[in-house]
Chains A and B, each alone.
Chain A
């Protein structure tokens, strides 16, 4: 027997089992309808959960992108200051950020796929549940045991198959969301530990590379200021250092 047929039989077997349990098959219809409504609620919640996870991923991706851009800028700054060691450090952190970003992008695409599938499944289920309610009432109104058995059997098989399918889609989406949440948590920890710079860090709180770059430029500023001050020393003060030949020359003239 082909696999497709075996799978079809599994769904039918499940529906028959539910039907066999009921004394009056009409009760099965009502019970099944309740289950359908429950599932519909779950699926809608599932869609919302996946969307929330996707948005969280998007925020992290933005953070990582900003972090990567910032590290690139720092590397350039370090190179122009002749600090290859600092540039190397910035570039290797940037590579780590980019790696994380690529992973998140893959996950994001997967999650988006699950979200779309689940949204469609939820629309399909909604339409089927509505149709089932109508059919259920028709069957109950025209109830004659023999005729109803077949009709109920078919409605039950059809709807339970749909429910089985939607249930599986839910499971898949939940699994993907959980994997993603684990990953998102890991990225958050990485950012918190400082291994990856969080570009959203408030002003004033800086990472070590930035601190060093800033202290370098601050250092050279100090040198400049110093030279300027020395240049402004009043002539003839006597203590002018030889590092200022202009001042020395002036002294000799007098």
Chain B
């Protein structure tokens, strides 16, 4: 599974880790929905650390779309909201 961390590039994470990542991703999602900035920063940091720990960086010249795109560690809640709202995707 290819995961992009915005500003850092892409990593390849074993598919077997999907469930554990999903759990962490859900926490981030909840924080975004609930508008909880502090919970967002914490849950995002936890998710990013896990991804960096598990992931193998992709070579620069590889061109593949990601299955998962994550905001950079210093992204604010407002920035992520803006990103999500950008294309008018229905949240859910």
Interface magnitude class on chain A: 35 or more
Binds B, one of A8-16, A61-69, A95-103: A8-16
The answer to whether A8 and B87 touch across the interface, beta carbons within 8 angstroms, is: no
List B contacts of A8 (CB < 8 A): 4, 65-69
Q: Is A2 an interface residue (CB 8 A)?
A: yes
The answer to whether B6 and A165 touch across the interface, beta carbons within 8 angstroms, is: yes
Q: How far is the CA of A1 from the CA of B25 in the complex (A)?
A: 9
List A contacts of B70 (CB < 8 A): 4, 7
List B contacts of A165 (CB < 8 A): 4, 6-7
The answer to whether A128 and B89 touch across the interface, beta carbons within 8 angstroms, is: no
Interface magnitude class on chain B: 20 to 34
1/0 contact trace for A217-243 toward B, CB 8 Å? 000000000000000000000000000
Partner of B7, one of A2, A12, A121: A121
List A contacts of B15 (CB < 8 A): none
The answer to whether B61 and A130 touch across the interface, beta carbons within 8 angstroms, is: yes
List A contacts of B86 (CB < 8 A): 10
List A contacts of B71 (CB < 8 A): 7
Partner of A3, one of B4, B25, B65, B87: B25
- Give chain A interface residues in 141-173, CB to chain B under 8 Å: 154-155, 157-159, 161-162, 165, 168-169, 172
Q: Is A127 an interface residue (CB 8 A)?
A: yes
Q: When A and B form their complex, what is the total count of cross-chain residue pairs whose Cβ atoms lie within 8 Å? A: 97
Q: How far is the CA of A3 from the CA of B24 in the complex (A)?
A: 10
Partner of B4, one of A14, A117, A126, A161: A161
Once A4-B69, A10-B86 are accepted as A-B contacts, the answer to whether A131 and B62 lie under 8 Å apart by CB is yes
The answer to whether B66 and A11 touch across the interface, beta carbons within 8 angstroms, is: yes
List B contacts of A158 (CB < 8 A): 62-65
List A contacts of B62 (CB < 8 A): 128, 131, 158
The answer to whether B60 and A3 touch across the interface, beta carbons within 8 angstroms, is: no
Q: How far is the CA of A253 from the CA of B29 in the complex (A)?
A: 105
30 inter-chain pairs at a CB distance below 8 angstroms, sorted by A residue, are A1-B92, A2-B25, A2-B26, A3-B25, A3-B32, A4-B3, A4-B47, A6-B84, A6-B91, A7-B69, A8-B67, A9-B89, A10-B69, A10-B86, A10-B87, A11-B66, A117-B7, A123-B60, A124-B9, A128-B61, A130-B61, A131-B62, A154-B65, A157-B65, A158-B63, A158-B64, A158-B65, A165-B4, A165-B7, A168-B6
5 more CB-based (< 8 A) A-B contacts, given A11-B69, A132-B63, A162-B63: A3-B80, A4-B28, A7-B68, A8-B67, A161-B65
Across chains A and B, which 3 residue pairs bring their CB atoms closest together, nearest first? A127-B60, A157-B65, A158-B63
